[in-house]
Amino acid sequence: MITSARRVAAKRNDWRSLTPRALGDPTATPVSVSVVIPAHNGQFELDLALAALAVQSHPAELLEVVVVDDRSEPPLRLPESRPEHTTLVRVEGGGHGSGHARDVGARRAGGDVLLFIDADIIADRQHVEAHARWHEIIDDAVVLGFRDFVDVEGITADQVRSAVEQGDIGALVEGRPKEPHLWIDQVLEMTEDLTTDREDLWRPVVGASVSTRSALYEEMGGFAHFPRRGIVDTEFGYRCFTAGGVIIPERAAYSLHQGQRSFATNGKELARKRAPLIANYIANPRYRPPVSGRQWAVPYLQVIVPPSNRSFSAVRNTVDDLLANDFDDLSINVVFDPGADDADLYVDYWQSEGRVRLVTEAPRSGFPSPATMMVPVGTRLAGSALSGLMARWRTWTHGLLSVSVTDAESPLELWATRALHRSYRSSGEAGLRDNARALFGEEWLAGADHGIGTESGASDHRFAQGRYHLGRR
């Protein structure tokens, strides 16, 4: 069912520059949607959720639902009131938590679009369609639904189905107090609905209602299998954004959440327990303490030192300059030939340095690190060069900083990883830099102004034949 047509890319996170069709209008580019619902116990909540999905405005033939029963006791069952194409998958072992359950469901799904909805969500009639219409026009969409928290005690599946079918979900809970998702509303307000470009636009991503194209889900690695509550959704949003996703708040994808959210009752304790894990996997100052010398599971900066015909000493000098810099939340990928005469020197020298990886092929990007840097062999860096470049890059005015280095054939390149991934999807390698320039902007800097130069007077003072930079080999 999955289609492969390329769709338009947006600049930065400017989703308002895109114009989806109006709800209810026909489309020439229909997409199939797989709704994935992780569920643990809660048969009553699931019955209401499936009753609402049974009468969606999105065409029934383009809608499937995969319910993942995460070790419920007694096992969950599918109620009579459900979408026609609904499958129940039971998870018995191999993982734990909502992230694992969502990923199991995603791997079983066959739609163009994956829409993740929690088992305690009652979706309004146009909820699925509101998600789908963005994926009809852009490959990079990460669409967020909205919800109010409300007590649904005493409401039946038949009542839910009737209210949703009539497009009047509000009547279902008329007179009952409703609570909005306040902290998400606050983030949207201070970022002009996520159009103000900054590095943490992924924060409002929650698994209660979020969708991506299946291809983007595969590219960014899907939901992680963390057992710790409170990190799975946030980390998923972080990787979606870092992979070049456009985060789109879609208020027409409205729903009711059955009861209070867990953070409303024990948020401080959940935040305390998740902090150590989230610091390792989300490379962002909000979650990571400024501790010099620490190594994290996901470094903030991934450096790629490409293949070269320079001597080992030239490679060593470049890499050691990087390691000695005052910006040390990084990992360095050194591309080398294991069959070369001096290959053992690379292994001998860096075998105990945890921040250096010896690779035989340059990584496509530094994902899931938010910053990717290409540093040609022979480049020399002053001790504060990286911190200066990173400070310039983190003004978010450009997705690519290109640093000209005297006597070098290739520039040093500092990429926003999200700019790199979105440009790859939009143009492939052939037009990578041009596309990145159009979507995110490029700025050229003089290396001499930032403590960056080349080896001076060395007998091997030349770069490998041919230019080498990301997107061009």
Q: What does the H/E/C string look like for 7-49?
A: CCCCCCCCHHHCCCCCCCCCCCCCCCEEEEEEECCCHHHHHHH
pLDDT at 271 exceeding the cut of 60: yes
For residue 369, is it within any domain? yes
- Does 348 lie in the same domain as 316? yes
DSSP 375-443: --TTEEE-TTHHHHHHHHHTT-S-SEEEEE-TT-SS-EEEEEHHHHHHHHHHHTTTTHHHHHHHHT-EE
Classify the C-alpha dihedral 121-100-77-80 as positive or negative. positive
- Does 344 lie in the same domain as 439? yes
For residue 38, is it within any domain? yes
For residue 463, is it within any domain? no
pLDDT at 147 exceeding the cut of 80: yes
pLDDT at 47 exceeding the cut of 60: yes
276 Cβ contact list (under 8 Å, min separation 6)? none
Mean pLDDT, residues 106-126: 97
Output the CA–CA distances (angstroms, integers) from residue 115 to 2, 137, 421, in the order listed. Answer: 14, 16, 22
Number of domains in the chain: 2
For residue 314, is it within any domain? yes
Of the candidates 409, 402, 405, the residue with the CA atom closest to the CA atom of residue 380: 405
pLDDT at 270 exceeding the cut of 90: no
The pLDDT of residue 429 is 67
pLDDT at 464 exceeding the cut of 60: no
Strand order across the 400-404 sheet: 356-359, 330-335, 301-305, 371-374, 412-416, 400-404, 442-446
pLDDT digits over 357-409, tens only? 999 999 999 999 999 999 999 999 999 999 999 999 998 889 999 999 988 77
pLDDT digits over 188-219, tens only? 999 999 999 999 999 999 999 999 999 999 99
Residue 388 is part of a domain; what is its CATH number? Answer: 3.90.550.10
| Contact call for residues 369 and 331 (beta carbons, < 8 A) | yes
Confidence of residue 3 (pLDDT cuts 50, 70, 90): very low
pLDDT at 250 exceeding the cut of 60: yes
pLDDT at 12 exceeding the cut of 50: yes
For residue 470, is it within any domain? no
- Does 314 lie in the same domain as 258? no
| Contact call for residues 27 and 63 (beta carbons, < 8 A) | no
- Does 225 lie in the same domain as 105? yes
- Does 362 lie in the same domain as 275? no
pLDDT at 235 exceeding the cut of 70: yes
pLDDT digits over 53-99, tens only? 999 999 999 999 999 999 999 999 999 999 999 999 999 876 668 89
For residue 209, is it within any domain? yes
For residue 293, is it within any domain? no
- Does 200 lie in the same domain as 54? yes
The pLDDT of residue 263 is 52
pTM of the predicted model, to two decimals? 0.92
Distance CA 138, CA 7 (A): 5
- Does 308 lie in the same domain as 427? yes
State which residues form the domain around 68: 15-281
- Does 252 lie in the same domain as 344? no
136 Cβ contact list (under 8 Å, min separation 6)? 7, 20, 21, 27, 29, 30, 31
The DSSP output letter for 126 is T
- Does 445 lie in the same domain as 391? yes
Residue 122 pairs in a beta bridge with 256
Distance CA 415, CA 436 (A): 9
Is 247 in a helix, a strand, or coil? Answer: strand
The pLDDT of residue 375 is 96
For residue 415, is it within any domain? yes
- Does 427 lie in the same domain as 384? yes
Distance CA 217, CA 118 (A): 18
The pLDDT of residue 467 is 42
Q: Which of 249, 281, 313 is the last residue of a domain?
A: 281
Q: Tell me, what amino acid is at 7?
A: R
% of the chain with per-residue pLDDT over 70? 91
Output the CA–CA distances (angstroms, integers) from residue 337 to 89, 345, 381, in the order listed. Answer: 46, 11, 24
- Does 160 lie in the same domain as 23? yes
pLDDT at 315 exceeding the cut of 60: yes
The pLDDT of residue 261 is 64
Residue owning tokens 């935040």:
271
Range with lowest mean pLDDT among 44-53, 121-130, 266-275, 442-451: 266-275
The pLDDT of residue 1 is 38
pLDDT at 458 exceeding the cut of 60: no
Mean pLDDT, residues 95-104: 86
Distance CA 375, CA 322 (A): 9
Element (H, E) at 235: helix 232-242
Distance CA 257, CA 119 (A): 9
- Does 184 lie in the same domain as 330? no
Alpha carbons within 13 angstroms on the beta-carbon side of residue 69 total 17
DSSP 186-227: HHHHHTTTTTS--TTTTTT--TTEEEEEHHHHHHHT------
Longest dimension (CA), the chain: 83
